[in-house]
Structure 1
């Protein structure tokens, strides 16, 4: 499938001049596609084209710290915490006057989508989440994972120190490309494919947002005071009630799926996990057909707003 880039639009929220791409019918059923780290809306090009061809209104935002999205003031905290990502998604729905949308997300974007589905379920028609329940258990982050998982999280610990800040600042393109290779070992992407996304990492706030994200989730950095109430609710690990399909790449190099679905208990109502053979971490770009099929299957089960 050949995808074309759409015009970039902007909205203003209390924190951001938030950039997004929109395609499809303005009166179609809305679908919001949320990218992760270190990716951008290019990962959804084939998915967005398929949805727009079916008459949907397709919105793909650039997360805070990526591409043309900018903070509205130097006074706004360059937070990358999970509550900030969710608040941005909710603000996007509000400003665009979208009462209810289907959400698709993976990595950071999956976290934002899961949070909005958990705390504001009336705004979510259905949810496609990469790798299951993505809401961080920050109070439980002191509990170590098994050594294999800790090894895969090396980049997170790297970002906890000043050397990691300097490394991401100086080598963001090479470092993020390395993560693409490690996390999607079965995906043969070319230089042009990577370059179309890596330009989004030139955002002046990219490093600050990324570093804060990986420090806050372990309790090593304070969050934005304006988001404390949301973070408190997330510390309770709220369940997700909306119809959900979890897509997991069988070859994911950073978060490989367990044999047993340990996230099942976090979902109430319709829930299904689909493990995708030969697919890594960048699910929508590596497996657009499977992503589209999952969303279409869910939308048959749920009614539009």
Structure 2
């Protein structure tokens, strides 16, 4: 069994997915990154999981590489959900398995929830980090009106052309600032900033990444209404939700309006003291150990 995290490519849904892989045998784990990010944040976690007998695959989200960008439309969450579920099917067939464990952070968390909701048969367990699911936007507006302040960047991203221009100025300095603002205590921030900016300097990546926001539950386009309706459905997969204590993108009050009814097989919420938004970077060792325990519980329950 290989304990080294390697770079590879997987063909699925008519796209070529660059991925990080670790482990040659064992139960499959798929880890999804968010914005602004790439799979590099899972390197330590993937190596730990592989050392304990798991196969781990961490793909670039659709659009985050010139190799897996959509040519016939926008990178909306439904397209991304379906493309990644197809990728999971390919990986399961490749490994001779029926189900895998699914982990997501930020946009990866949102997409992972949509994937598990749409195809629960593919997943043993789900772990959603930093962004919750099953929220009532009306409850957020009434119980946590301050969230509009925390969500300023989402509104800013709707300003087509201007937002793209401002983000890309001075070597993507705004992205570097966002990363540090969202996880100010992370000691490895310079390396993370360099890696993420390198990803966003590739052709088409910034446009694709912002399309997630511009076609989603945050927008007023027709597809946005459809995606918001998906958040009223249930996820029949055992779910672990993890968040950082000082995550300014999603204040605690937002998590408090998550409905347990959206998770008929149960949801467990845990908070990492002192951590910011990018928990998989800031608490890699602790999260790897928590995932190991979570996966074992899921395999026993199955």
1:104 lines up with 2:103 in the alignment: yes
Which residue of the other structure, out of 35, 38, 54, is the alignment partner of 2:36? 38
3-state SS in 1 of match to 2:17: strand
Q: 1:294 to 1:198 in 2, by over 3 A?
A: same
1:249 counterpart = 2:257 = no
1:110, distance to aligned residue in structure 2 (A): 0.6
SS of equivalent to 2:73: coil
User: RMSD of aligned C-alpha atoms?
Assistant: 2.9
The answer to whether 1:150 aligns with 2:148 is yes
Match of residue 54 from structure 1: 52
Determine whether 1:194 maps to 2:213: no
For residue 84 of structure 1, report the CA deviation from its aligned partner.
2.3
Offset of residue 59 of structure 1: 0.2
| d(CA) in 1 for partners of 2:199, 2:32 | 14
State the 1:248 CA deviation. Answer: 0.9
Q: Which has the higher helix share?
A: 2
CA contact (8 A) 1:65 1:203 kept: no
In the alignment, the residues of structure 2 paired with residue 243 and residue 285 of structure 1 have an alpha-carbon distance, to the nearest angstrom, of 24
SS of 1:126 mapped into structure 2: strand
2:11 is matched with: 11
Q: Show the counterpart of 1:115.
A: 114
CA distance in 2, matches of 1:175, 1:4: 33
**Structure 1 unpaired stretches of 5+:** none
| TM-score in terms of structure 1 length | 0.84
Within 5 A, what are the aligned runs for 1:66-77? 66-67=64-65, 69-71=67-69, 74=71, 76-77=72-73
Partner in structure 2 of residue 294 of structure 1: 290
Matches within 5 A, 1:79-90: 79=75, 81-90=76-85
Distance across 1 between alignment mates of 2:31 and 2:255: 27
Instruction: Check whether the contact 2:23–2:53 (CA below 8 A) recurs between aligned residues.
Output: yes
The 1:142/1:103 distance shift into structure 2, 3 A limit, reads closer
How far off is 1:142 after superposition? 11
Aligned equivalents of 2:61 and 2:212: distance in 1? Answer: 12
Change (3 A) 1:101 1:233: farther
Say whether the 8 Å CA contact 1:65–1:204 is kept in structure 2: no
Q: Distance in 2 between matches of 1:172 and 1:136?
A: 36
- Asked if the contact 1:29/1:56 (under 8 Å) is kept, the reply is yes
- Say if 2:253 is the partner of 1:258: yes
Distance in 1 between residues matched to 2:17 and 2:134, nearest whole Å: 23
Aligned in 2, Cα 1:258/1:220: closer, same or farther, shift over 3 Å? closer
Aligned counterpart, 1:94:
89
Distance 1:259 1:52, change over 3 A: same
Alignment of 1:189-268 (within 5 A): 189-217=188-216, 218-221=218-221, 223=223, 231=226, 234-235=229-230, 237-258=232-253, 261-263=256-258, 264-268=260-264
**Which 5+ residue runs of structure 2 have no aligned equivalent?**
none
Partner deviation per Cα, 1:51-101 (whole Å, 9 max, x = no partner): 1111211000001221454336x3x2132x221221122011122225311
State TM-score, norm by structure 2.
0.85
Deviates most, 60-69 or 260-269 = 260-269
